[in-house]
Structure 1
């Protein structure tokens, strides 16, 4: 079985979900898009992932702010408002009868091309919008076990050619990093920035704990994760020292604890990096505390509707 931060409990209801493609609903095995789609041809698209908890799309405003920023960055005009996209998501959730423990993936590509090409001027349709809702509850077993990381030789790029903060479909460099990690026997990849400092992981944000201080990288070379931001927020609200700073593997190998963050898995402990045990090699006390504070923030968000 694949082990990592996206491990989910099996749920047979996913076999019969309906997927929205440009406001039309299709059964899972019939959901298709053209081979001339910009996202398929050249990775020209942006995306977001949301969690539905107890009837509430948690942190949706933060996610949509990031989606709109990503679209502006690549020069894509979204032909709908945030309110309208929210309704599209709810329409998809409602037709599937979904209310809890749901992961929603929203993908927006530039549209259909006249012919295979990078040139956006050859796009002959409006953006394609795909909404995939799935019943996905994070595996508690995987979370308790934690994950192992391997430091990839693939670096996070400089913002002057593909800004790491851009949540786009072009993820091949992260896939390459993950392949290196898997071949080295680890679960996921740790990635450095162009200066050799720790930046992020291939699909999650990285944190380390030393002497009860929480460290994470600067926001320059990593996806500005929503969960990452919320962990920083709860640290500040609870007087836990938290620093966004440059640090290297020298610091990481001597960490007391480490964890990664993501919309799906929340906080997941890291037990080993490059074969070296981190701290006691298990779900640490501070990581649990931060996880509890993050879960309380989610519950507060749910209560506020």
Structure 2
């Protein structure tokens, strides 16, 4: 069965990892939170996915900036400075002796509630902060075959509904889109905005290449992706014309190349969308020349900007 851009091979080392729950390291089997936690009860919280590269975390400042902006948007105090939170992340990595090939899930919820009700005033105590580091690397077969995308009827919501720029725990619309794509035999869902223009995928950001130009959505209906932003930045540095604009599925079907971006897998090529093969990729790899060029440049950028606070 298709598993999408987040497919990975199970690593036996993950059975013995220690997970940070509110600053306390716990074995995987004992890492639990209360059934009254806001994240469990309501999906009330924000999170980040982080990539560990050569002992540091790629684009750490950008990820923490997004996390704290999201917390402010939902009127939630994280209770730690950025520096203190970064220290806690690396304490967890050090305890596990992890330096590379690791994906970290950083989650912050509003905390435990005195009763399961949505009002934030029902919260008692401090926010819940969980850090889960795992040995996880993308499947190499993905670059060979490329992704299959399916356009779902589930739309991205407008900013006056649930703002898609929030990296919140509440991901039900993305889950429903993912389910529909899976039922259609695809790896991931391509999602449209309320007007029918291409927005993003259910867990990654979407790009196409047309006549040497790289296009992605205008960003209004998608998360402010860290990898997305760095790919746009790389296009400028590499002299590749890039446009953030609205475009339709017709533009997608006629594209020369397509790829998706995300913290876990970087750049992943797209083979077909809704059964239409995108471009004429080489037989040994589904990534086209622009995708390959940007993928290698992104890997180097991630290595270069992987940091560990002093």
Is the TM-score greater than 0.5? Answer: yes
User: 1:275 maps to what in 2?
Assistant: 275
* Matches of 2:179 and 2:118, distance apart in 1: 26
CA distance in 2, matches of 1:302, 1:66: 17
Is the deviation greater in 103-112 or in 289-298? 289-298
Determine whether 1:155 maps to 2:139: no
RMSD, aligned CA: 1.3
TM-score normalised per structure 2: 0.96
Alignment of 1:288-299 (within 5 A): 288-299=292-303
The 5 A counterparts of 1:55-204 are: 55-204=55-204
Name the CA distance, whole Å, in 2 between partners of 1:106 and 1:278: 35
**Structure 2 unaligned runs (5+)?**
none
CA distance in 2, matches of 1:37, 1:3: 29
1:161 shift after superposition:
1.4
Instruction: Indicate the SS of the match to 1:113.
Output: coil
- Unaligned runs of 5+ residues in structure 1 are none
TM (normalized to structure 1)?
0.97
The answer to whether the Cα contact below 8 Å between 1:260 and 1:269 also exists between their aligned partners in 2 is yes
Q: Distance in 1 between matches of 2:77 and 2:305?
A: 30
Are 1:214 and 1:240, in contact at CA under 8 Å, matched by a contact in 2? yes
* Contact 2:59 2:306 (C-alpha < 8 Å) held by counterparts: no
Shift of 1:288: 0.3
Deviation at residue 129 of structure 1 after TM alignment: 0.4
- CA separation in 2, counterparts of 1:3 and 1:174? 15
Whole-angstrom distance in 2 between the partners of 1:231 and 1:80? 30
Take 1:304 and 1:107, find their aligned partners in 2: how far apart are those partners? Answer: 20
2:81 and 2:132 map into 1 onto residues whose CA distance is 19
How big is each residue's C-alpha offset from its partner over 1:121-169, in whole Å with a ceiling of 9 and x where there is no partner?
A: 0101110000000011222122222110000000000000111110000
Point out the more displaced range, 1-10 or 34-43.
Answer: 1-10
Larger RCO (alpha carbons 8 Å, 6+ apart): 2
Cross-structure match for 2:11: 11
- Count of equivalent residues: 305
**Counterpart in 2 of 1:27?**
27
What is the SS of the residue equivalent to 1:5? helix
Give, in whole Å, the separation in 2 of the partners of 1:115 and 1:261.
39
